[in-house]
Amino acid sequence: MSKTQKEIGGYLELERFSGSLYHDNALALSSGRACLAYLIEQRHIDKMLLPDLLCDVVAQVCAAYGVRVRYYAVGPDLRPENMLQPGHDEWLYLVNYYGQLTEDEIAEVASHCQRLIVDNAHAYFTPALPGVDTLYTCRKFLGVADGGFLYTDARGKWIARDESHSRMGFILGRFERPANEFFPEAQQNNDTLDVFPKRMSPLTENLLRAVDYERIRNTRTENYNRLHAALGNANELILRPVEGAYAYPLLLADGERIRQKLIEQMIYVPTLWPNVLCDPAARSTARRLARDILPLPCDQRYGPGEMDAVIAAVLREL
């Protein structure tokens, strides 16, 4: 059979969906790290100013492309401690931790920094500002193995399409069985995603077209607000409301101890920046935030009952 001839008949595959991608006007790429790699290639970036509270994937992408990096301090309010002053030809990487930056705050940074990349990995439902390179990742909000979106006017050569079918085991497994059975596979997936850009896979794009984004945004918002109403007085972070929150960041004096107690009760609260804890040169503020912030789950799988169970478990430890 010719390679160009379309197969007709045979067994049925996954249904094809026709809904919105939510970020329909963005470039659909293979991952968040692929979005950054694409920008480095198209913008010819060779220097970047990164926050000191950051997963090591961003530094790995920069290293793969020979980008020289230096770091700025993130304060206890999850914002840059000082006015950011990128050097000549240096790009600023601004992370919107837990969606806490307002559009006005991002616009203020953009007004005095033309070479700006906004990382909205924690803020899927926060719109990108016109003219500002902004990236999103799908895996933190939706049940897919990969995928990212990039708003940019930098358009380059055609790039290959990714494939996701071999990565979907842990996603499908957790649908039917407990998460801990597939956690090693999920971690392995994080480690094996390519740092070089590809277009989003047909499988991931198709799954994203089946999602009820309005329901997801509303559920995450309601769950976040319920957690904040019960735990806000104990939280060392001063938080603003977030539409479609990634998680509820609860900063406590002994957050690491409480994290372990929650995990023992099958309330899985990750450590988002373990590389910071392993870095002997890391500042005390960055280490404290990485260690003691509890990203409490508030996603679309859960409702008031689960949120009350999380609240009760935290309050017992306080």
Q: Are 59 and 38 in contact (CB under 8 A)?
A: no
Residue bearing the bigger pLDDT, 180 or 305: 305
Per residue in 219-277, pLDDT tens?
A: 999 999 999 999 999 999 999 999 999 999 999 999 999 999 999 999 999 999 999 99
Average model confidence (pLDDT) across the chain: 95
**How much is the pLDDT for 249?**
98
Model confidence at 191, pLDDT cuts 50, 70, 90, reads confident
Burial class of residue 114 (count of CB atoms within 10 Å of its CB; 0-12, 13-18, 19+): exposed
Q: What is the mean pLDDT of residues 104-123?
A: 96
Model confidence at 3, pLDDT cuts 50, 70, 90, reads low
Per residue in 65-92, pLDDT tens?
A: 999 999 999 999 999 998 788 988 999 9
Residue 129 clears pLDDT 90, i.e. is over it: yes
Q: What is the mean pLDDT of residues 107-123?
A: 96
Walk me through the domains of the chain, giving residue ranges and CATH numbers: 27-208 (3.40.640.10), 213-317 (3.90.1150.10)
Residue 35 clears pLDDT 90, i.e. is over it: yes
Q: What is the mean pLDDT of residues 89-115?
A: 96
Per residue in 140-185, pLDDT tens?
A: 999 999 999 999 999 887 899 999 999 999 999 999 999 889 989 9
**How much is the pLDDT for 156?**
83
The structure's pTM equals 0.95
Residue bearing the bigger pLDDT, 278 or 191: 278
On the CB side of 145, CA atoms within 13 Å amount to 27
Q: What is the mean pLDDT of residues 185-195?
A: 85
Q: What is the mean pLDDT of residues 210-216?
A: 98
**How much is the pLDDT for 83?**
79
Q: What is the mean pLDDT of residues 113-128?
A: 97
196 is written with which tokens? 């070089």
Residue 205 makes CB contacts below 8 A (sequence gap 6+) with 21, 28, 147
d(CA 235, CA 206): 39
What does the radius of gyration of the chain's CA atoms come to, in whole angstroms? 20
Residue 59 clears pLDDT 60, i.e. is over it: yes
**How much is the pLDDT for 308?**
98
Residue 133 clears pLDDT 70, i.e. is over it: yes
Q: Estimate the crossing angle of helix 183-192 against helix 169-176, to 10 degrees.
A: 160
**How much is the pLDDT for 301?**
97
Burial class of residue 52 (count of CB atoms within 10 Å of its CB; 0-12, 13-18, 19+): buried
